[in-house]
Amino acid sequence: MDRRAFLRVAGAGCAVSLSGCLGGVVDGLGIGGLSDEDFDIGMSANAFLPEEYEVSAGETVVWGNNGSRGHTVTAYETIPADAEYFASGGHDDPGTARDAWYERGDGNISPGETYEHTFEIPGRYNYFCIPHESGGMVGAIVVTD
């Protein structure tokens, strides 16, 4: 391998390695330009922060993508009885949400965007990010009376 080819490969490797470091906060704002006041739950490279969040029935939760790549907010089917299902993209179940994501990227929350849902029924709501679920990007909303 000649010197130029080596430098191209090494430079690309460094760029990819450092890109994961940029999923945090820059000058108090997320990469997408959101501040902490814009959302209740942040979305970093592979995590919902905080992972578990508690609200009272009737409250609205806002997720904000302050990372550097797209995410989804997708409820698992095991939500409380009579509760409204939620998923970015407005889907009715996780299977439909997954299909729509993989077919056309539907439900994507881009950096700097938010998604919100109002929780009316007390209980525990587990949810995940479709493209990053295998990396552990899961969360829970606990709704109290």
pLDDT digits (tens, 9 = 90+) for 112-132: 999 999 999 999 999 999 999
Q: Nearest CA to 87 among 125, 58, 49? A: 125
In angstroms, rounded to a whole number, what is the distance separating the alpha carbons of residues 140 and 125? 5
Residue 134 near residue 123, CB atoms below 8 Å? no
> pTM, whole model, 2 decimals?
0.79
The confidence band for 31, taking pLDDT boundaries of 50, 70 and 90, is: low
Average pLDDT, the chain: 86
Q: Nearest CA to 122 among 142, 101, 106? A: 142
Asked if the model's pLDDT at residue 134 lies above 80, the reply is yes
For the domain covering 23-144, report its CATH number: 2.60.40.420
Domain residue spans of the chain: 23-144
Q: Nearest CA to 47 among 29, 73, 27? A: 73
As given in the structure block, the two tokens for residue 116 are: 């919100």
